[in-house]
Structure 1
Amino acid sequence: MTAETIPIRVPAPGAARDVRAIKVVLHREMLRFVNDRTRLVTMLFQPVLWLFIMGTGLGTLVAGAIPGLDFRTFMYPGMIAMTVISTAMFSAGSIVWDREFGFLREMLVAPVSRGAIVLGKCLGGAIVATGQGVVILAMAGLVGVPYDPLLMVTLLAEMFLAAFTITAFGVTLAARMKNMQTFFGIMQMAIMPMIFLSGAMFPLANLPSWLHVLTTVNPLTYAVDPMRQAVFAHLDVAPQVNAMLNPGVSWFGWQVPIAVEAGLVAAAGLLLLGVAVAQFRRAD
């Protein structure tokens, strides 16, 4: 008896196959996010703690210096950024988890472009982080930020851009790591200083020269500042308060436009995406 041969059809290489791979990886990220409610709650705990407890405490110290404005309103864009950044990095860290359990190898031996896998991962992480940020966005009214439709759309777009860039950064870090402990140790060492130096928790005006330089070269500054400028554009505050809390970013006295800041974040995201793809192409 002759054994029956079962044909195996492998999709022809091309853009359609890569798009399908991106959709599969993205869909897996969505399922992982929806089914992990514990992560959703824990990722929100720290920003809410900073916003409503630390923000309220600090607000009592500076209330006389910023008349007519709740200090939590100032901190609000920074807390959005913190939520998005933390979630994006954790999404990227799942690559290490997949490597430990062998799922990553199955993806890498699939007949699809590794660039498609990385892009799907970055898009999935960005969408998950943006979805997490929407929860903080819903709290806007509690800290004096208006629910203006244009403001909400602007913040969503800026959140997604920041989340994509941070996810690409996280994927680049995770590409060669073998265990979660190493990844999260390096993540904390890299991300926490960047968050503190981004202006998320203190104004960028009147800083010492050394601290001004650090905030200027920090990539996250250009993700937080557009969000703060969008919020303050919809607030009715005194000019001196706006100049104190929302000075923007300047290079040698030149005020950096929001479009340039967004372009820098996007360029960093694309550069990190390219580095991540190159890392995966060299991975075993």
Structure 2
Amino acid sequence: MTSQANAIRPQATPGIWSGTFALASRELVRFFRQRTRVIGAIGQPIIFWVLFGAGLRGSFQSPEWASNLEQPLTYQEYFFPGIAVLIVMFTAIFSTISIIEDRREGFLQGVLAAPVPRSVIVLGKVLGGTVLAVIQAGLFLMVGPLLSYVGLSPGLQIEVGLLQGIFAVIFLTLIAVELTSLGFLIAWPMNSTQGFHAIMSIFLMPMWLLSGAFFPGGGSGWLSWIIRLNPLTYGVAGLRRLLYSGDLPVTDSLPSLPVCVLVTAVFGLACFAISAALVSRPTSHNVT
């Protein structure tokens, strides 16, 4: 019996990765077959960027960390990293809400009964959502500066070089893992898409709004503390540091890049670990 068990164990790892890639590829195929998801995940943030940039351009005041720049920071430039993170968040929401649909259709029960660890579900969903998020946000980083040449985003002076782009994509991957794991953690105990949208409205969107993506979060008071405690603040700040060309004069109001990487990685790992623990439970109690 022992020899037979030992002979079976080496086959477990290939089963984990094959199951993970199968679930991830399923997410990719499902996404590209649904054109409305592609349009919604990319089109809506770009519309936000163009419209809010045009409407708030005159009333925008540069934050403290950008006060020493040779050329004043425009709102389009300030909002640019926040929109990239918004695309990642929308993709994470759309990719993890499929968990509820898979449970209703019976697909999730079939995966749970398969002879692979239950953590494969988390790995597959997070990998698929991360790839989709990075593809879409990466496209925006390339297309966004081109909009300034046609007059849709006047004042945008961001020019992303090759090395900057590589580091920005790597950091976007870290943010995508963080937000997709968080979305999985929220969606797993639910059996209602309406409940998921409610959580998104009262938790995920305010989380993005209070990350410094939409407006500067300096100053003092209770709002500034919420912004500092928000883990997504460090994702937006880290991406902001990587995208802005040249030297960026900063103060303590903008977190350093090592701190941004550390906070984003720790929070993403924590969400992933909790999600894996929930999935590995023998029984789960679903709530609306």
Q: Same fold (TM over 0.5)?
A: yes
Shift of 1:139: 2.4
Mapped partners of 1:184, 1:100: distance in 2: 17
Asked if 1:228 corresponds to 2:227, the answer is: no
- Corresponding residue number in structure 2 for 1:178: 191
What displacement does 1:46 show?
Answer: 2.7
Find out whether 1:61 has 2:59 as its counterpart.
yes
Shift of 1:21: 0.8
- Give the Cα separation in 1 of the matches to 2:107 and 2:51: 41
Query: Quick one: which of 209, 217, 221 aligns to 1:196?
Result: 209
1:127 aligns with 2:131: yes
Contact 2:28–2:132 at 8 Å: present in 1 too? yes
Corresponding residue of 2:275: 276
**2:213 counterpart SS class:** coil
Residue correspondences, number = 261
4+ aligned runs moved over 4 Å, structure 1:
10-13, 63-67
Provide structure 1 residue ranges, at least 5 long, that are not aligned to the other structure.
Answer: 1-9, 250-256
- Greater Cα offset, 104-113 or 39-48: 39-48
In the TM superposition, residue 136 of structure 1 has moved relative to its aligned partner by: 1.3
Cα distance, 1:63 vs. partner? 7.3
1:111 and 2:115 aligned: yes
* TM-score between the two structures when normalised by the length of structure 2: 0.84
Across the aligned residues of Structure 1 and Structure 2, the Cα RMSD in angstroms comes to: 2.3
Q: Secondary structure at the match of 2:199?
A: helix
Q: Which of 211, 227, 244 does residue 215 from structure 1 map onto?
A: 227
| Structure 2 residue 141 is the aligned partner of structure 1 residue 140 | no
- Give the structure 2 partner of residue 248 of structure 1: 254
CA gap of 1:236–1:53, structure 2 versus 1, over 3 A, is farther
Question: How much does 1:115 deviate?
Answer: 0.8
Correspondence for 1:38: 36
Is this contact kept in 2: 1:204–1:248, CA < 8 A?
no
Structure 2 unaligned runs (5+)?
Answer: 1-7, 149-155
CA shift in 2, pair 1:64/1:42, >3 Å: closer
1:42-93 Cα offsets, whole Å, 9 max, x none, are 1223311221111122112237997543320111000000111111121111
After superposition, the Cα gap between the structure-2 partners of 1:87 and 1:62, relative to the gap in structure 1 and judged at 3 Å, is: same
Q: Secondary structure at the match of 2:115?
A: coil
Alignment partner, residue 5 of structure 2 = none
CA distance in 2, matches of 1:79, 1:63: 18
Q: Is the 8 A contact 2:19 2:116 kept in 1?
A: yes
